[in-house]
Amino acid sequence: MNQTPSAPAKIELSHVTHLYLSTTRAFMAVQDINLRVEEGEFICMVGPSGCGKTTLLSLMAGLELPTAGKVSIDGTPVRGTSRQVGYMLQQDYLFNWRSIEDNVFLGLDIQGIRSRETEQYALHLLDEMELSDVRKASPMQLSGGMRQRVALVRTLACQPDVLLLDEPFSALDYQTKLKLEDLIFSTLRRHKKTAILVTHDLSESIAMGDRIYIFSRNPGRVSSEIAIPPAIRDSLPFDARNQDGFQDLFHRVWKEMEVVSDAAKGN
């Protein structure tokens, strides 16, 4: 990262507070969040449920605008959804009424950039994920892991710089999940994407991330930040779990999590 300190961060949140309003109450999902993500970084966000992780992703994706504070990408405030940011949900949500190929072209259709060139790129990604032989198939014929891979291609086909991953592995079985972690990790590294992963799985967050933000809840706030040492950071998630120091790091994150869950109970 050859950036001068004054250059704008890839993603920057400053004093972000967000309220959810209903007729019965105003619920503060996150309060005064400040964080900076540099280009090409892989950030993991962990915390007890209800700590506003998904809210932060929605704010970065421009699905919602913050009640107070500023969310900016490349120094420009986020005003709505943009092509720059891709979002992956907990489940694949492929459209059953479209073939795999047409699911992958969905973003191209919406953004009006479908051309032979962009189609070729999408099909190339499909090939990278070893899915080219099912391009004409229906989503219903695919396994969970394959479907989630298709969803990744659908997101990457629009060539976003930033990828927001909202627990994309949580609906998969353990083996598939480990394989997909490696695949997504290496794909994002290769394509030099900036990524933010929300997860409940602490070891996943250590294995995949460059940095981890731990959140506390009521309201959601950053409780601590942990940098991952290079040895673990640079190995594939599967190997990272066997690196020296992984267990120590796991215990540290575990302790931090105990702190925030205790704090939540104390409230």
Dihedral of CA 103/105/107/109: which sign?
negative
Dihedral of CA 99/103/104/105: which sign?
positive
9 versus 158: smaller Cβ distance to another protein: 158
Region from 93-101, 129-137, 209-217, 240-248 binding another protein, contact rule CB under 8 A: 93-101
Tokens at residue 135, please?
């391009």
147 versus 221: smaller Cβ distance to another protein: 147
Residues 204-243 that bind another protein (CB under 8 A): none
Among 6, 22, 96, 175, which residue interacts with another protein (rule: CB under 8 A)? 96
Residue 236 DSSP one-character state: -
Q: How far apart are CA 232 and CA 230, in angstroms?
A: 5
Across the strands, what pairs with 42? Answer: 195
Residue 91 touches another protein, criterion: CB under 8 A: yes
User: Please, what is the minimum distance in Å from the beta carbon of residue 186 to another protein?
Assistant: 23
Query: Beta-strand (E) ranges in the chain?
Result: 11-21, 26-37, 42-46, 68-73, 76-77, 85-88, 162-166, 194-198, 211-216, 221-227
Across the strands, what pairs with 43? Answer: 196, 211
Whether 94 contacts 150, CB under 8 Å: yes
Tokens at residue 94, please?
């492929």
Residue 152 touches another protein, criterion: CB under 8 A: no
Residue 61 touches another protein, criterion: CB under 8 A: yes
62 versus 237: smaller Cβ distance to another protein: 62
Phi and psi torsions of 162, nearest 5°: -115, 135
Region from 108-116, 170-178, 203-211, 249-257 binding another protein, contact rule CB under 8 A: 108-116
Tokens at residue 81, please?
């959804």
Residue 247 touches another protein, criterion: CB under 8 A: no
Q: How many residues sit in the footprint of another protein (CB under 8 A)?
A: 24
Residue 28 touches another protein, criterion: CB under 8 A: no
Among 65, 68, 110, 231, which residue interacts with another protein (rule: CB under 8 A)? 110
The string of DSSP letters for 126-140 reads HHHTT-GGGTTS-GG
Tokens at residue 143, please?
């396994």
Residue 87 touches another protein, criterion: CB under 8 A: yes
Region from 6-14, 82-90, 168-176, 177-185 binding another protein, contact rule CB under 8 A: 82-90
Region from 5-13, 22-30, 107-115, 178-186 binding another protein, contact rule CB under 8 A: 107-115
Residue 139 touches another protein, criterion: CB under 8 A: no
Residues at the site binding another protein, with contacts judged by CB under 8 A: 61, 63, 81-83, 85-87, 89, 91, 93, 95-98, 106-107, 109-111, 138, 154-155, 158
